[in-house]
Amino acid sequence: MIQTQKLPVGIQTFDDIRNGGYLYVDKTKYLINLIDKGKVYFLSRPRRFGKSLTISTFDALFSGKKELFKGLSAEEFFERPGYKAHPVIRLDMSRAVTSDGRGEFLESVMDVLERCAKRYGLPLKRTSPSRMLARLIVELCDAKGQVAVLVDEYDKPILDLLHSPERAEEIRGILRDFYTQIKAEDASTRFVFLTGISKFSKMGVFSAMNNLEDISMQKHYATMLGYTEEELLGNFDNHIDKAADDMKISKEELISEIKYYYDGFSFDGESRLYNPFSTLRFLKDPKFDNYWFESGTPSFIARYMKDKKLTVEQFRGYEVSREFAFAPGEIETATAASFLYQSGYLSLRPGVLDDFSLDYPNHEVLTAMSALLVGNIFGDNDELNNARSRLRESLVTQNHEGVKDDTARAITEISVDLARKNTLT
C-alpha cells in the first residue's frame, strides 16, 4: 500500500498544517525575500489560491514561532543576528458585514479590531474603525515594538456590494479612511502586506498608500501562490501514484489529465500554476470535478456576467496590453477582461510583441464559465436541464453548430414551459 502524507484540504492556518502533520509546499523563501527587500506590499490572487495561508504564514514568522519552520527555507530567518519577534495586527476583512447597513458594517470592523487587541491584552475603546486602527498600531508599537500589519481580503466589502453602487461608495469612503491609517502610522510599522482579488486605484488604498508596492504581476513572485509542475511532482509523487492506482490508469496519463483540468493559471504570462485547492481536492479523493467552482462561486461573478451579457467565446485569445489588469478606475467600471482576470476566470498567455493575451486557464474554469452562462440564460428550471446540459457540452467542446442547435432547442422548451404556465394561470 502506498503511504501518503495528510493533505491540508481547506486548511488555511499555517500553525494547523505544521502541527497537524499535513503536507506543506514550502513557499517561505518568497516571504523572507519580501521582508528583506521592502516593507509595504500588495498581492492580488483569485479566491481559494492560498492568500489566507500566506497571511497566516507571515503571522507565524513575525510572531516568532520558530518551531513551525523547521526544515523550511525560512528556518534561517530566526538565526539571524538581532532577530526579534514583532506584534502582529491581522485583519480578515471577509468578517466585515455588508448585508445589514452602515451601522452593522462599522460594528463588524470594530469587532475585527477588538479581536486583534485582545490577542495582546490591550484595551481598545470603540470610536470609529479608522481611529481604533491608528490607536491599536501606535499603542501596540509602544508596548511591544514595531508592528506587522496583515490584511486579508481587503476588497471583500466592496465586492459584496457591486450590485449596489450607492452602498458600495459609502463603504468605500469608510475603508478609505480606515486603510489610510496604515500609511499614517508608518513609523510604528515593521511590515505591511495586503491581499485581495482586485486592485483599483481609486478605491482609496492605492491612492492614499502611494508607498505600496504591487507584486501581483512581478515575475519574481509569479509562483509565490499555487503549485508549479515541479512542486506538484516533487511534493505529491506518492499521492499521484496512489491516484493512478485507484483510477487504473498510468501515472503519465493521470498527470496529463491533472494538467488539463487544474493547471494553466499564470500571473506573468510565462509561469504556469496548478490551482492549489482543486489539486488537493482531487488528490484526496481522485475524481475529476469542478472543485474550485463548486466550493462557492461568488455571487458577484454571476451577477457581473449576467449584467454585462458576457459570452464564453469572447475572451478566448483576447489580446490585452501589459497594463490592462490594473488600469486606474473604480472596480465597478473596470473592463470585463480586467475584472475576470483578477477574479481568476481568465489567465495570462504570451501575446503579440510585449503584450499579453487572455484565455481560460484550464478545463475546470472553462466549464465553470459555461455553467454560469447557461444558468444566467435558463435559470434553474428542472424541465430545462437536458437542454442546458447539451448546450454546456457544446460550449465546452467549442461545437459552434451544436451551440446554435442546442440554443434553438432550449428556446423552444422555454416557450413551451411559459405557454404551459400561462395556461395554468
Residues 206 and 99 in one domain: yes
Per-residue confidence (pLDDT) for residue 168, from 0 to 100: 83
CA–CA gap between residue 362 and residue 223 (Å, rounded): 17
If you ran DSSP here, which 8-state letter would residue 7 be given? P
Contact 33, 259 (CB under 8 A): no
Domain extent for 84: 14-221
Domain membership of residue 348 (yes or no) is yes
Report CA-CA distances (Å) from 98 to 93, 107, 421. Answer: 11, 10, 37
Last residue of a domain, one of 221, 248, 264: 221
Per-residue confidence (pLDDT) for residue 139, from 0 to 100: 96
Return the SS3 of 120. Answer: coil
Length of the chain: 425
- Residues with pLDDT less than 70, the chain: 1, 200-208, 296-300, 322-333, 352-354, 375-389, 391-398, 400, 403-425
Last residue of a domain, one of 221, 239, 264: 221
- DSSP bridge pairs for 89: 149
Q: Encode burial over 322-348: b for 16+ CB neighbours within 10 A, e otherwise.
A: eebbbeeeebbebebbbbbbbbbbbbb
CA–CA gap between residue 114 and residue 108 (Å, rounded): 10
Residues 299 and 157 in one domain: no
Residues 75 and 164 in one domain: yes
- Cell (9 digits) for 201: 486605484
H/E stretch holding 40 reads strand 40-44
Residues 190 and 108 in one domain: yes
For residue 99, count CB atoms less than 10 angstroms from its CB and return exposed for 0-12, middle for 13-18, buried for 19 or more: exposed
Residues 96 and 234 in one domain: no
Return the SS3 of 66. Answer: helix
Query: 149 phi and psi, to 5 degrees?
Result: -110, 120
Helix runs in 120-271, H state only: 129-144, 156-159, 165-184, 205-208, 229-235, 237-247, 251-262
- Cell (9 digits) for 288: 475529476
For the chain, the maximum distance between any two Cα atoms, rounded to a whole number of angstroms, is 82
**Structural domains in the chain (count):** 2
Per-residue confidence (pLDDT) for residue 103, from 0 to 100: 92
Domain membership of residue 100 (yes or no) is yes
Per-residue confidence (pLDDT) for residue 363, from 0 to 100: 92
Contact 343, 46 (CB under 8 A): yes
What DSSP assignment string belongs to 238-270?
HHHHHHHHHHTS-HHHHHHHHHHHH--B-SSSS
- Cell (9 digits) for 182: 496604515
Residues 51 and 196 in one domain: yes
pTM: 0.87
Per-residue confidence (pLDDT) for residue 324, from 0 to 100: 67
Residues 188 and 43 in one domain: yes
Residues 71 and 212 in one domain: yes
Residues 211 and 126 in one domain: yes
Per-residue confidence (pLDDT) for residue 422, from 0 to 100: 42
CA–CA gap between residue 351 and residue 110 (Å, rounded): 46
Residues 12-44 pLDDT 10s: 999 999 999 999 999 999 999 999 999 999 999
Residues 123 and 264 in one domain: no
Contact 219, 268 (CB under 8 A): yes
- Cell (9 digits) for 72: 523550511
Q: In the sheet that 356-359 helps form, which strands lie side by side, from edge to edge?
A: 318-320, 356-359, 347-350
Residues 39 and 177 in one domain: yes
